[in-house]
A and B are shown apart, each in its own frame.
Chain A
Amino acid sequence: MFGRLGLDALPFYSAVAAGGALVTVTGALLVLGVISYKRQWRYVWSEWLTSVDHKRIGVLYVLLALVMLLRGFADALLMRLQQATALNSGGFLSPGHFEQIFGSHGTIMVLFMAMPFAIGLINIVVPQQIGARDVAFPFLNLLSFWFTAAGAGLVLVSLVIGKFSTAGWTGYPPFSGLEFNPGVGVDYWIWAVLISSVGTTLSAVNFIVTILRRRAPGMNLMRMPVFTWTALCTSSMILFAFPALTASCGLLAFDRLFDGRLFTSGGGGNAMAYINMFWLWGHPEVYILALPAFGIFSEVVATFSGKPLFGYRSMVFASVAIALVSFGVWLHHFFTMGASANVNAVFGIATMIIAVPTGVKVFNWMFTMYRGRVRFHTSMLFTIGFMIAFVVGGLTGVLLAIPPVNYLVHNTVFLVAHFHNMLIPTVLFGYLAGYQYWFPKATGFRLNDDLGRWSFGLLFAGFWIAFMPLYGLGLMGMPRRLERYTDPAWQPLLLVAAAGAVIIGAGIALLGVQLIKSIRDRARQIDASGDPWDGRTLEWSTASPPASYNFTSIPMVSGRDAFMLAKRANAASTVTTYVSINIPKNSAAGPALGFAAFVFGFAMVWHIWWLALAASVGCVAAFSWRGDPESETVIVPAMQVAEEEKRRGRMAPIADMRSP
């Protein structure tokens, strides 16, 4: 009836694990309790959880990302403290628990922090940047969010019921196979990844169609803001890369469910087939995460330098080049696999080639700042910090791209230092820059800039202190994922790294303080104009926060930086009549299908077959039962549009972007 599920699934094997479970459950109960106490269920349900408004969905994605950032960082802190103390001793974490922690840290940070953060920001911004009222498939957008949330839910539930994977975030067989890992941990990992990747793939389809087909008149491809360009590149990469993740994880699930021999040591299995497929997704994934961040930096640097972006064309070509080349470098994750020297050389050279368009971008950002009137908003600080740290990470990346060097530092913490040196400046700083930059657009008020600067300072300093020692440790030969060690020479550097992690923690805590304080002071921080930073692109032409339909009338675009052109030409307010607008209807099917997907994943993990079958058939059937597109929209009458605009203080909306 309940498969493998029993009372022994509760986490009483370790005090730390039980504590984590307690925090998770308490946190969830607290959120539910506060909503109930404030009697806001109706509001939360109808305005947020079932809303198909792309801005609302984007905010939900960002909230999910911030929650998962806390969880992923808690894992990181535990690892750093363990390694700082585990010289010749077991530290405070058992080996099996330590393995779960580094697995969930990587999985969460890549798939449930970075991905939702990126897709959230894309959701909030891209439709507005291209002058569209919504994405092409609003319901699908909601569904994508709920599938991602279902995956994240599985990871969180694994903390309370059962265990998480001990096979790392990459789940390499044969260790992740049935023989060495018969428990539920790897299954939690597999089904969380598979379910969320369905959501991500649907998002990609949605944004490709939105960007290709829903642009305002006059906005040809080479007039699109760079963030929109990077969103298009990222979506296309998702569409081609995520199927590889689906295949690799799906086949691993097959091996585990049916006692297969695809990736086992015996029976002719080939673990390298899995590893190839995994990185066929995994390497593009690095750029799937990086490109939107590059887009954010491009927007921020142009706005706060008060200049058009330097080298727009080369920026676009660089993004597309990165997107294409990133599919040809996956083998550099396992130069030691034993492919011939020639194969390694090809992939090594391809890896170095990808540094070229990336370098072009760095120069473009610098030249944008050159002779600009630079304003040091928090998002600009993140951008500058990124440029400095990113170049260092890029250099160590080129070092790693040389196969003979790679053999020497393979699987050491040098690698760990390198990819954190890429991902923290790019992804974390990038998305936080976007968060600080677009926050007023999403909410209607600005974040406290002083606290933002302090947070940046701590994150930036903490990053160097936490990760530079790992380069040294890697060269000293320290392997990654060590739960204990005997070399006393490593400990001083590990203590420094732990201190860095604590400083990063303080930076993250300040982000929380900033958010709370800004919400409390929202009356003073209000963004009445809708354009707090003297922005250049169309999202700043709407009110903050925008009406559900974004634009009262679709803007006409006559060049790049369309909103700046309109402001220069003083082309505001040529339309004073309002028309009625079609907007998509809320849908309870989104959260319902997401819940069904969660139940399906949970049932697959615990081998509750009847439930898995019911949930999957229910999911497909409900998804097929899609309403008539006609019946899925409601009309906002012109009167209501006029009232809405008046309420937002936008009696004279900027409607016609044509220069006079």
Chain B
Amino acid sequence: MIDAGAPDLRERLTLLELVDRVLNGGVVLSGDITLAVADVDLVYVGLRVLLASVATLERMAELEVAP
């Protein structure tokens, strides 16, 4: 079994929807400090890894409860 603190996949996906909007949408300014395109790409790489690992955890949990 995975421990109770493991993040729920559904919540992760809502987070992805949100991160997608706050990073790709909205007015982009050349403020004093802004995110570089390369940084945004890095976030996506990180999120993919995170989501993939959550999905794997859930599959493992399913296997363990299966008879």
Is chain B found bound to chain A in the same assembly?
no
Residues on A facing B (Cβ under 8 Å): none
